Structure 1
Amino acid sequence: MKTAIILFNLGGPDGPDAVKPFRVNLFSDKAIIRAPIFIRFWLSRLIAASSAKQAAANYELMGGKSPLLDLTQQQASALEAELGGEVKTFIAMRYWHPFAKEAAEQVKAWNPDRILLLPLYPQFSTTTTGSSLTDWHEAAAAAGLAKPTTILCCYFDDPDYVASIAVLVDRGIAEAKAALPSGTRLRLLFSAHGLPESIVTAGDPYQAQVEANTEAVMARLADRDVEHLVCYQSRATPQKWLAPSTIEAIEQAGRDQVAVLLVPIAFVSDHIETLVELDIENRELAAHHKVPGYFRAAVPNADPAFIRALAGLARRALTHGPGLCSAVNGRVCDAKHKDCPWTRYRTEQNAP
């Protein structure tokens, strides 16, 4: 069967002129700024303008653009090669080209027998996978694309995915210990993109999945006794966000005189939040607070073990057939997470 696999990701500006519109698109998303449209229109432009110079300067550190599309294309090509057969991957970015609209038109022209929606977000959030799903469904409808579609909601607990991350963390631990003076304590900081607390309180399962993902990785490490902490980065609005922040965790490491290894647990590709926020800004913060050592574990990018894990997930999801599935087929979230996609899917399925 001709199978189209749609890879969802955030997207990023492809040049200096794209920085502002990318950020406006990001903060205009009703899944992120949960306010009436007229407030969101004003607020998105205010937020984008308030740090425009800093954002532009940060992208300049990466050559004037985000590397995310290039890295996602590498992942897409590697996944195609791993799966073989009549499989073609397409990329649908949420906030910059190629948008879902472009991907849907390409998929329709290729005319597959079936479609798999595969997010490059291991943990489900209404602000990432949920937003991309809404965007895709609207784009597919506008393109007149109607094919049997399987949706993979999350895979934070997939054993092969977890193992691929654990290998990268083990490598980071070994490199950190080799560079540190003997006897220096090391703490793993599992840093995930933050969310306003109100979104989690409303029923988003993201925080629970990040924490479960972290514990699954810890259980696979060679050194399971190493200290660890989950923290959250990239606060963007004045609301109260998930805590502790990565900044707070680094400051605490300075007070405790413990070295840190940052593990970007919610990211599978390098982009501004790893290459600038973690590697430059937070490294400078650690030096300012006299943290005795600052290291970062690699993200998967096109690491072969990660690509094999994605391929396994794709095969099992396609075997499941059309509809919603997870890494373990059924729902993995506690019932208290009302924004788990399984709640919405079942509600829609049972509607008269």
Structure 2
Amino acid sequence: MALRTTPLAQLCKRATLSSSSASTLTWPANSSSWRRNNATVAPPVTQDSTGSKGPTAMVFMNMGGPSTTDEVGDFLSRLFADKDLIPLGRLQNYLGPLIARRRTPKIQKQYAEIGGGSPIRKWSEYQAAEMCKILDKISPETAPHKPYVAFRYADPLTEEMYTKLIADGFGAGKGGRAVAFTQYPQYSCSTTGSSLNELWKWRNRLEGKRATGEVDPEGAIKWSVIDRWPVHPGLVEAFARNIEATLATYPEERRDKVILLFSAHSLPMSVVNRGDPYPAEVGATVHAVMHRIGMQHPYRLVWQSQVGPQPWLGAQTSDTVENLIKKGQTDIILIPIAFTSDHIETLYELDKEIIGEAGHEGVKRVESLNGNPVFIQALADIAKAHLDSGISCSPQMSLRCPGCVSERCAEQKKFFAGQVQHL
């Protein structure tokens, strides 16, 4: 959300897995082995004739956003209830709803200014569907690939997605495979970690010990995770082409001196000092993109959406733009490097608050990835490599932050890493 107006934007859209991450999940060869205790269990998910290991559910995970202004209140309530994202201590259950109610009118006005709601659901559903079309062609053995979206704070929520998976014939005694594909290219415990905690919670409630009495019941969905992909060549190429297209809009005599500001959502320093990998992975993306475009322009990595009085990762995007303009440097391109589609942070905070207030025609923003075909092909390539690899998550995901004290996080990581035994 807008940096100086609301904490709603805290820690949006980041993290994920490299092109070498993955897994290949199959059902038992002898289906009777998981029916032995229940003769009425439904048969496995129907196999597609083109895919001996299909169908495969591809679940896009993201923070989400309210599609209408009427949904803002519920969105904020869920956001401020999330201790992984906004830790408020023992008063979380009291302060969270209070902050959400007070912020709602202001945030509704901001969403009204960008068209009445966030476009992130539209783009997420489009990206997932288009990726699955490509996967059906390049990975026929795991086809058909069925797209799903699971948002952390907005519809469709993780619970809704999981219920739909079961209704569609995955899990609940029928077996089947699903891939949780985080849409935060760079991993943070506050984003990807929170989404996986939520997925793990609903797996336990709907298919795990709380539902069946078993920790790992037979016929449950077999999960794997694409948890980060900060330097995938397709992601880098998509960013690079968008930057080059924006550079081409400047007169040739000014082009080489345009300053590139890569802007990512900031983190509280308490999270950074705990050992969160997000700053390093964002930096890796920036470095890879700059190498792709030849290191020919001055650049910096800056951070947006700081909220409250506590120290946050800087320098702040808004302050940087303001200071550059004061020095007479008004040819600046903003690049939202940790987001995979437009949302409130790009359409309102960058476009209206920062670029709008700058008042200079030389301050511009590159187009977001949205429906970019290079980006969607990259998603398919990442998923294909994951499906072929036979691993359940990247080696990095199983390593906790050095300062982590969350047992929930530890158990979630243990669960997803342990899914490799089913692949």
TM-score by length of 2: 0.74
Unmatched tracts of structure 2, length 5 or more = 1-53, 137-142, 171-175, 209-219, 419-423
Aligned to 1:103: 161
Aligned to 1:69: 121
2:66 partner SS: coil
Structure 2 CA distance for partners of 1:4 and 1:344, relative to 1, 3 Å: closer
What residue in structure 2 maps to residue 35 of structure 1? 88
Residue in structure 2 matching 1:89, options 147, 167, 177:
147
Deviation at 1:71, TM superposition (A): 1.1
CA distance in 1 between counterparts of 2:415 and 2:124 reads 33
**2: distance between equivalents of 1:6 and 1:104?**
10
Once residues 248 and 34 of structure 1 are traced to their aligned partners in structure 2, the CA distance between those partners, rounded to angstroms, is 26
**Distance across 2 between alignment mates of 1:311 and 1:346:** 27
**Within-5 A mapping of 1:1-352:** 1-36=54-89, 38-84=90-136, 85-112=143-170, 113-144=176-207, 146-175=220-249, 177-178=250-251, 182=254, 185-221=257-293, 223-258=294-329, 259-287=331-359, 293-325=362-394, 330-331=395-396, 345=413
Counterpart code for 2:195: S
User: Match for 2:384: what amino acid?
Assistant: R
Larger radius of gyration: 2
Identity of aligned residues (%): 32
Deviation at 1:304, TM superposition (A): 0.8
Deviation at 1:336, TM superposition (A): 7.3
The one-character-per-residue Cα deviations of 1:160-181 (angstroms, maximum 9, x if unpaired) are 2212211111112222x23x87
Alpha-carbon separation, structure 2, partners of 1:188 and 1:47: 35
Please tell me whether the aligned partners of residues 392 and 416 of structure 2 are also in contact (alpha carbons under 8 angstroms).
no
C-alpha deviations, 1:219-278, integer Å up to 9, x for none? 001x52201111111123331111001111111211222221000000001011111111
> Aligned in 2, Cα 1:272/1:333: closer, same or farther, shift over 3 Å?
same
CA–CA distance in 2 between the matches of 1:299 and 1:4? 26
CA RMSD of aligned residues (A): 2.6
CA displacement, residues 4-38 of structure 1 (integer Å, 9 cap, x when unaligned):
011001111122221122112112111122233x4
User: Which of the pair has the greater relative contact order for Cα pairs under 8 Å at 6+ separation?
Assistant: 2
TM-score by length of 1: 0.88
Gaps of 5+ in 1: none
Q: Give, in whole Å, the separation in 2 of the partners of 1:324 and 1:271.
A: 28
Cα distance in 1 for partners of 2:103, 2:413 equals: 38
Please tell me the residue identity of whatever aligns with 2:307.
A
Distance in 2 of aligned mates of 1:132 and 1:349: 16
Task: Letter of the 1:137 partner, please give it.
Answer: W
Residue 392 of structure 2 contacts residue 417 of structure 2 at CA under 8 Å; is this kept in 1?
no
Deviation by residue 1:22-75 (Cα, 9 ceiling, x = unmatched): 112112111122233x41223323433444332111110122211111111111
Distance 1:174 1:270 in 2: 22
Tell me the distance in 2 between the aligned counterparts of 1:184 and 1:150: 44
Q: Which amino acid aligns with 1:311?
A: A
Cα deviation, residue 317, structure 1: 0.9
1:89 aligned counterpart, secondary structure: strand
